[in-house]
Amino acid sequence: MDVIVVGGGPVGLMAAALLDAAGVRVEVYERNSGPSRQSRGSTMHPRTLEVLTMLEGADGRRISDVLVAEGRQVPDAHFATLPDRLDYRGLDSAFPFVLHIPQWRTERILADALRARSVPVHYGAEVAEVTQSADEVRVRVGEAWHSARFLIGADGAHSLVRRAAGIDFPGTEPDQVGFGADVRLAEPVERAQYYWNLAGHVSVVPLTETTTRVFGLKAGDVGLSSVEVRRRQAEPFTLPELLDSLTAICGRDFGAHSPSWLSRSSNAGRHAATYRAGRVMLAGDAAHVHLPAGGQGLNVGLQDATNLAWKLAAEVRGWAPKEMTDGEAGYDAERRPVAEQLVANTRAQDALMHTFSPAGGALREMFSGFIAQGGEVNRRLAGVLSGLAVAYPSPDGAHPLIGTRAPDLPLAHGTLLRVLRPDRFLLLDFTTDGSLAGLTAAHVEVHAAPLPDGPGREAWHDVRVALIRPDGYIAYAAPSPAGLFDAIAAWTTPDHS
Ligand SMILES: Cc1cc2nc3c(=O)[nH]c(=O)nc-3n(C[C@H](O)[C@H](O)[C@H](O)COP(=O)(O)OP(=O)(O)OC[C@H]3O[C@@H](n4cnc5c(N)ncnc54)[C@H](O)[C@@H]3O)c2cc1C
């Protein structure tokens, strides 16, 4: 085996699917006896749908298309459950909306895709030990040891892989206990409703035709010691307690009944000190945990997998430059700052959501007003939450597009998102005479494309050639191909310096 993935949650399944699509031999070990039935991360943001367009589902449709067909589209997103919302409609994306879809559906679609491609996903296989040497990693499942060249720990917040690899997980202790439930409502709501007052906050969000996600926090459940939080979290959350909380905060309980999921949550915020130790890498909740605010955890995790998979595939296949394995273009260097920002923005939301006082109310009103103005605050927050504004570092003086994510540009044949694959770069030839059509370079595929124009495409005005990474970020963009061969070599030659 080239790669073992520990954890068959959404992040592990996504990483395995991308590695397989890049021609890497990969298998997944998952301790549960089958795909999860929990709806946990049920908010999917535009960038996640974009990267899921790279992968084919079991029936040959792109995974994003399958998800969109099964989910519920909402044109805006909330920040800190404020009444004024972030408008996604103007985003330059093939998916300018939030998709509500229960996490178990996402996992099932990914698991079906892996089955269709004969990628082994071993259910009921708990990894009990992990070791690594200079040449390989080994995992123990029951009495049997399995080895591979690399290992991805996608085994969630309490990651055994993280501990075995000796990776610290520093952060802040929890000081509050919230609640969440998926229920049926005798009095259903059409659109998401958010309640905030001095008694607490509650959000009521329709998930499917029949199921509604209800989450919130009572004002008395903040400012607790971490010991008290753990004690409370260990107690089962019950329907009567949910109904009482709803009545106390909203003045009614919506006739909630038939819960399919009841849970308590906290606001612990932790971030792995490194995403890579030798041959072991972490992704998703194994690398970062935070207050579930804005439905970001699942999305950032799936994009961790997207950033990691093509680089690891290149390393396995022997064409990864050192810069891409350990350097500034490496997985750790690019993704850790994204999760730093994620943990920070959930802390800011924590303050806006959970300061139950007149001062907290005034702060919410003021911040919501900034969002309502629809200007820079709205644009920036929508960029962060949607994932579209995430960009990776680029050299000083580089073209401003380098490091940013490429939109779904039309090509002579197809569109960018539908020709991206995790095993090759795309060279976009915008020259009118198609002068790059005959170029051949390993791991690069040339596509002629019309000049990008229209709203949001101003930054492309002088670009005649662009090199797009396998994960859809721009590696090179310039008015002429003068520096192109250096750029290709820098990204695809192992001993490049
Ligand atoms: C209660 C709760 C509510 C949430 N609500 C939201 C939300 O509303 N919106 C949102 O975006 N996110 C939410 N999240 C977060 C979201 O669900 C996670 O970010 C997402 O599941 C991360 O995926 P993952 O694959 O990294 O980890 P997980 O989904 O945790 O998957 C890890 C997998 O590893 C397996 N595993 C663990 N240890 C081992 C082992 N030793 N051997 C083999 N397998 C192992 C586990 O069984 C599990 O299947 C919520 C999380 C929780 C816990």
Ligand 1 site-directed mutation target among 40, 98, 105, most atoms within 8 Å of CB: 40
Kindly give the distance from the C-alpha atom of residue 44 to the centroid of ligand 1, in angstroms, as a whole number. Answer: 15
Ligand 1 site-directed mutation target among 285, 288, 308, most atoms within 8 Å of CB: 285
149: region left, alpha or beta (phi > 0 left; psi from -120 to 50 alpha): alpha
> Which backbone phi and psi does 220 adopt, to 5 degrees?
-75, -10
Domains of the chain: residue spans and CATH: 3-171+270-386 (3.50.50.60), 174-267 (3.30.70.2450), 416-492 (3.40.30.120)
492 three-state secondary structure = helix
Place of tokens 């949910």: 242
Residue 494 confidence class, pLDDT cut points 50, 70, 90: confident
Does residue 497 have a pLDDT over 70? no
Arithmetic mean of pLDDT over the chain: 94
76 three-state secondary structure = strand
Kindly give the distance from the C-alpha atom of residue 18 to the centroid of ligand 1, in angstroms, as a whole number. Answer: 19
Query: Minimal CA–CA distance to 422: which of 72, 14, 71?
Result: 14
Q: What is the pLDDT of residues 96-120, one digit of tens each?
A: 999 999 999 999 999 999 999 999 9
Do the beta carbons of residue 286 and residue 272 sit within 8 Å? yes
Residue nearest to atom 35 of ligand 1 (CA): 7
| Mean pLDDT calculated for residue range 344-348 | 92
Q: What is the pLDDT of residues 205-218, one digit of tens each?
A: 998 889 999 999 99
| Mean pLDDT calculated for residue range 331-336 | 97
Alpha-carbon torsion (157, 163, 169, 172), positive or negative: positive
Does residue 326 have a pLDDT over 60? yes
Residue 31 confidence class, pLDDT cut points 50, 70, 90: very high
Kindly give the distance from the C-alpha atom of residue 158 to the centroid of ligand 1, in angstroms, as a whole number. Answer: 10
d(CA 216, CA 218): 7
d(CA 43, CA 149): 34
SS3 percent helix, strand, coil of the chain, rounded to 5, is 35, 25, 40
Residue 453 confidence class, pLDDT cut points 50, 70, 90: confident
Residue 496 confidence class, pLDDT cut points 50, 70, 90: low
Looking at residue 166, its amino acid is G
Do the beta carbons of residue 170 and residue 271 sit within 8 Å? yes
Ligand 1 site-directed mutation target among 47, 67, 203, 298, most atoms within 8 Å of CB: 298
Place of tokens 């998703």: 284
Per-residue 3-state assignment (H helix, E strand, C coil) for 256-282: EEEEEEEEEEECCEEECCCCEECCEEE
Kindly give the distance from the C-alpha atom of residue 71 to the centroid of ligand 1, in angstroms, as a whole number. Answer: 20
Pairwise pLDDT comparison (355 vs 495), residue with the higher score: 355
Does residue 276 have a pLDDT over 90? yes
Please list every protein residue whose CB sits less than 6 Å from any atom of ligand 1. Answer: 6-12, 29-32, 36, 40-43, 103, 126-127, 154-156, 160, 180, 263, 265, 284-286, 292, 295-298, 301
d(CA 385, CA 88): 10
Q: For residue 316, what are the CA distances in angstroms to 26, 114, 385? A: 11, 20, 32
Q: What is the pLDDT of residues 372-383, one digit of tens each?
A: 998 899 999 999
As given in the structure block, the two tokens for residue 80 are: 């800190």
